[in-house]
Structure 1
Amino acid sequence: MTNYTVDTLELGSFTTESGEYISNLKLRYEHVGLKGQPLVVVCHALTGNHLTYGTDEQPGWWREIIDGGYMPIHDYQFLTFNVIGSPYGSSSALNDKDFPKSLTLRDIVRAIELGIETLGFERIHILIGGSLGGMQTLEILYNRKFEVDKAVILAATDKTSSYSRAFNEIARQAIQLDYNEGMSIARQLGFLTYRSSKSYDKRFSPDQVVAYQKHQGNKFMKYFDASCYLTLLDVLDSHDIDRGRDDVDDVFKSLDTKVMTLGFTDDLLYPDDLVRAVGRRFKYHKHFFVPDNVGHDGFLLNFNDWAPNLYHFLKVYKTKRK
């Protein structure tokens, strides 16, 4: 493969919103593609990682989008950072005994911005993310540290809803009761919110679904660190683009960035109407509704149902809100 890099930046002292310190901020990242090509910054979801493209032996979580021709590898270069707090190589409770007790979405975005600057990039041609990644996209757009040509926000809203936070709190309490079994329960609960009832009925019999849920929970318990998961639940709960700000609409309306939002049918956590409402805050906006029956996880699955909209959006040079 041409120009594939997975590495770790060490960026020195970093202060969080809460005033806590990371003595030497570490950011694990993946870069793939030819330098000089338009830059795509991909922001990953809650339990995702920096391996957007991956390798032939271990394909990344959006490899099908790139190799499927929707965002061809020869047309772009791709950069993804593992968010701090996650167990995949960036600074976290797993590799830093003094890691902050409180972490917010704005902390992880500011770390990513430092990483982009350190690698020498000043302009982002395409900024894209789903779920927690979409929330990061919103914060990067608000901060205006980089010129962004186009942004794609999938299955994300301008704040974490009370409904979503209720599920997060149940997961948090389960883990605090028992780190191992609690992680399994938390993951099983999460899966119920990521998929629709229709998709479950289509895929499983009542007996099969019990085994499937336990399998997913036990697998997650083994590979994802509980302290990191608790950190990321806090990050998710902290998301509110308007928190402490009264100028968000003015900032978004001032941007020349072309924004596309995608909402997925039966998304319990981030319903289509609320995803569409995020896009309406921008000057240039296009919204697509994806009528599959998977639910929230649609942005990680069934690419042929929605990626053609992404492809056409990236190829169109003028996008205005209707």
Structure 2
Amino acid sequence: MTYYTVDTLELGEFQTESGELIQNLKLRYEHVGYKGQPLALVCHALTGNHLTYGTDDAPGWWREIIDGGYMPVHDYQFLTFNVIGSPFGSSSPLTDEHFPHQLTLRDIVRAIELGIKTLGYERINVLIGGSLGGMQAQELLYNRQFQVDKAIILAATDKTSSYSRAFNEIARQAMDIGGVEGLSIARQLGFLTYRSSKSYDERFTPDQVVSYQKHQGNKFKKNFDLDCYYTLLDVLDSHNLDRGRDDVDEVLGSLETKVLTLGFTDDLLYPDDQVRAMGRRFKYHRHFFVPDNVGHDGFLLNFNDWAPNLYHFLKISKVRR
């Protein structure tokens, strides 16, 4: 029997980078597996949630990675926190009318670190995340609050690209003008950056794609929260590992953590060469280029194209550049 827990931590007063306070920080999390097994900390993407594994009735977003044998639940225990600012149970504008107006990636990572310590963990055997999750992983590594044996960073660079920030600003303007309907437009716009033109051509006729885009927008405005999306776009835009720091290369180059980076073909937001360049800042680094034409969302799809490399990386004991 696999132990499965979804619960909420209440962690008291929390101060953000901007100096604003969350009176009682709440962190929703999922834990699956047995205490004592190697810990895999999974960091979720922008509109994701803490349900990495999920249930049989509602499988989580990386259930196929775990049950597919790439990271078997018999070999690891898995922990995922819902980031603050997200509408799925942690502190956010949806749950707290006094929630901070400014939130950064470093804020959400400090909250996660507090959650990890509260649950009694001192060591992370596997740290893994894609997109915004990969950005969280970089901050966790830089902060050095925990010993991290191996880290896997997918489709993420050491700062949010100007291209991504441009789309985020257009999304804000759509929401400023249209409110919840603007949220639908923002999601449709985002989807265009998550998938490649090749994948759209292979999957849809010109008529079908219009219905698909509207479907994605309508689903999102029902399941997400407008103010939370504003908050998380700010979080995404705030990511810059070097902001206010002059020792990043020194710190990353001193870590004993073995790092695997993965970049995806046709990723408009975080191109493969930039993902690889970020990885080179670490002492022990391997990179894999995924020849998948889905684009940025490749880390959530087509697992057989890249997960065997993850499996191999987790098995090896020595990593050279």
Alignment of 1:134-213 (within 5 A): 134-213=134-213
Deviations for 1:116-138, whole angstroms, at most 9, x for unmatched residues? 00000000000000000000000
CA drift of 1:181 comes to 1.1
Q: Hey, what does 2:236 align to over in structure 1?
A: 236
Q: Hey, what does 2:282 align to over in structure 1?
A: 282
Structure 1 residue runs of 5 or longer lacking an equivalent are none
CA drift of 1:293 comes to 0.6
Q: Hey, what does 1:315 align to over in structure 2?
A: 315
Q: Which secondary structure state, in structure 2, belongs to the residue aligned with residue 99 of structure 1?
A: coil
Q: Hey, what does 2:47 align to over in structure 1?
A: 47
1:215 aligns with 2:192: no
Amino acid at match of 1:221: K
Q: Hey, what does 1:33 align to over in structure 2?
A: 33
Q: Hey, what does 2:6 align to over in structure 1?
A: 6
Alpha-carbon distance in structure 1 between the residues aligned to 2:69 and 2:179 = 42
Structure 2 residue runs of 5 or longer lacking an equivalent are none
1:120 aligns with 2:120: yes
Alignment of 1:62-141 (within 5 A): 62-141=62-141
What's the TM-score once normalised by structure 2's chain length?
A: 1.00
Amino acid at match of 2:297: D
RMSD of aligned C-alpha atoms?
A: 0.4
Alpha-carbon distance in structure 2 between the residues aligned to 1:223 and 1:147 = 36
CA drift of 1:272 comes to 0.1
Q: Which secondary structure state, in structure 2, belongs to the residue aligned with residue 178 of structure 1?
A: helix
Q: Hey, what does 1:267 align to over in structure 2?
A: 267
Q: Which secondary structure state, in structure 1, belongs to the residue aligned with residue 306 of structure 2?
A: helix
Alignment of 1:247-258 (within 5 A): 247-258=247-258
CA drift of 1:24 comes to 0.1
Deviations for 1:76-135, whole angstroms, at most 9, x for unmatched residues? 000000000000000000000000000000000000000000000000000000000000
Alpha-carbon distance in structure 2 between the residues aligned to 1:130 and 1:89 = 21
Alpha-carbon distance in structure 1 between the residues aligned to 2:320 and 2:258 = 8
Amino acid at match of 1:165: R
In the comparison of the two structures, how many residue pairs are matched? 321
Alpha-carbon distance in structure 2 between the residues aligned to 1:153 and 1:160 = 14
Alpha-carbon distance in structure 2 between the residues aligned to 1:253 and 1:151 = 14
Deviations for 1:224-246, whole angstroms, at most 9, x for unmatched residues? 00000000000000000000000
Amino acid at match of 1:188: Q
